[in-house]
Amino acid sequence: MQESNEYTRVLQYLYGKSLILHDTADFNPVLYFYFIDSLAHLDYTISVMAYNFQSIRNEMSRQYLRWRIDEEEKGERAYFGEFINWLREEHPEKFDTLPVIWALVYDDQSPAEYRSFRLIIDPDSNQAPPPAFFITAIDEFYEPEFLKSLYNGASLATLFDEFSGTRKR
């Protein structure tokens, strides 16, 4: 491990978060998948800056994220990117309340992406996002209103069901 730096504090902040007050079994399964997926990508991105790239911790994360790539294409999960863009067009007020990671990575108009499992905000920049960006991104995923919207029958879950119903393969 590299000497403790500002990114290790961000990881500690992430690991201090909890879903203990939520029944994740009642979350919309696709939204929950992408919730965990985004946190895993955040974890990996921050860990690469906090720990040696070849640490076993980062290698385990790479293996896990590699498995998730195949999982993204199963069932209704494959519609998630389209869903985010549909929200931008059809429900901009809801799109504006999404966590910034979802809005950046899945919006076709944004250059942000996951590249080698790392979150890349600006592909033309060599600068790492500052720790404050990650703190904000983490907090957005744990906003009470956002978490409530993930439950089956709640606002975001209902919109996803509406959208995916039009996309059945």
SS3 call for 48:
helix
The pTM assigned to this predicted structure is 0.92
Query: In tens digits, what is the pLDDT along the chain, a chain of 169 residues?
Result: 445 689 999 999 999 999 999 999 999 999 999 999 999 999 999 999 999 889 999 999 999 999 999 999 999 999 999 999 999 999 999 999 999 999 999 999 999 999 999 999 999 999 999 999 999 999 999 999 999 999 999 999 999 999 998 886 5
> What b-and-e string marks burial along 58-97, b requiring 16 or more CB atoms within 10 Å of the CB?
beebeeebeeeeeeeeeebbebbbebbebbbeebeeebeb
